[in-house]
Amino acid sequence: MTIEDAIAARRSIRKFKPDPIPEEAVETLLESVRLAPSGSNSQPWRLKLIQDQATKDRISEAANRQGFIAKAPLVIVLCVDLGVYIEGSLATVRELASNNERSEAMTSAMLSRVEAWRTQPKDFLAANVAFNIGIAGEHLALMAVGLGLGTCWVRAFDEARLHSIFGFDEEIVVTALMPVGYPDEAPSARRRKPTNEILL
Ligand SMILES: Cc1cc2nc3c(=O)[nH]c(=O)nc-3n(C[C@H](O)[C@H](O)[C@H](O)COP(=O)(O)O)c2cc1C
């Protein structure tokens, strides 16, 4: 399957077969996240894989009772670690500077920018870091298509409830849920704006 085919074929899937996902396929999905680009190569994503029914039920409850989440054989909880984001970004900026791969002006601008993150409110940082998990998550969603799997981005949830379900520390932000499974529906393509409407 080409990338073009995967992009065209991807749909949000909200009905899954109960069939389990082979371990090899799960590893391929994780590899697609691992290879994603990130700001300053900080790789701030942290994933939790949930397969047990009781936890999936609690996740679904915390996501406004979106029942299809609990029926997916696998739910991937896509998180970012804000500490990793800051420290990873600083390390890469310094590494690039020591290899003379970036101008002094760029290094100094990046160091001040990343250092300033330490005192920024969590919401600001969470929004800033969200780009990274967005890209990594879409790698996963497209890779899933190639494996015959379906996914659905889920953002409508109570983050505080998910935090308490998993006992995450303060540095972790739950950014999205991604139920994964073999599709038990074949939705038509959802409406998209024509190209002329998305050009400024
Ligand atoms: C950031 C984001 C958040 C979303 N949150 C939800 C959600 O909470 N529940 C849901 O059923 N679908 C959710 N969706 C799926 C969208 O409704 C879906 O992508 C859109 O309607 C287009 O349909 P398609 O993905 O099949 O092309 C979300 C999608 C994105 C990208």
pLDDT at 4: 98
Integer Cα distance of 50 and 96 in angstroms: 37
Kindly give the interhelix angle for 82-98 and 104-117, rounded to the nearest 10 degrees. 160
Residue 147 lies in a domain: yes
Residue 17 lies in a domain: yes
Q: Which amino acid is at 80?
A: V
Residue 140 lies in a domain: yes
pLDDT at 101: 86
Closest residue to atom 31 of ligand 1, CA basis: 153
Residue 195 lies in a domain: no
Residue 197 lies in a domain: no
| CATH number assigned to the domain comprising residue 145 | 3.40.109.10
Closest residue to atom 27 of ligand 1, CA basis: 11
DSSP summary character for residue 41: G
Question: In testing the pocket of ligand 1, which one of 13, 131, 132, 152 has its CB within 8 Å of the most ligand atoms?
Answer: 152
Closest CA to 25 of 192, 148, 163, 189: 148
| Stretch 165-175: mean pLDDT | 96
Reduced to 3 states, what is the DSSP secondary structure of residue 120?
coil
Domain of residue 105 covers 3-183
Q: Which residues of 131-169 are buried (b: 16+ CB within 10 A; e: fewer)?
A: ebbebbbbbbbbbbbbbebbbbbbeebeeeebbebbebe
In the chain, pLDDT over 70 holds for what percent of residues?
100
Residue 193 lies in a domain: no
What is the number of structural domains in the chain?
1
pLDDT at 100: 87
Residue 26 lies in a domain: yes
Q: Give residue-wise pLDDT tens across range 134-144.
A: 999 999 999 99
Pocket residues: Cβ below 6 A from ligand 1: 11-12, 14, 66, 152-156, 190
Residue 136 lies in a domain: yes
pTM score > 0.75 for this model? Answer: yes
Contact of 179 with 154, CB cutoff 8 Å: yes
Token pair of 99 as six digits: 């290899």
Q: Give residue-wise pLDDT tens across range 16-38.
A: 999 999 999 999 999 999 999 99
Work out the mean pLDDT of the chain and round it to a whole number.
Answer: 96
Q: Give residue-wise pLDDT tens across range 70-128.
A: 999 999 999 999 999 999 999 999 998 899 888 999 999 999 999 999 999 989 999 99
Closest residue to atom 4 of ligand 1, CA basis: 154
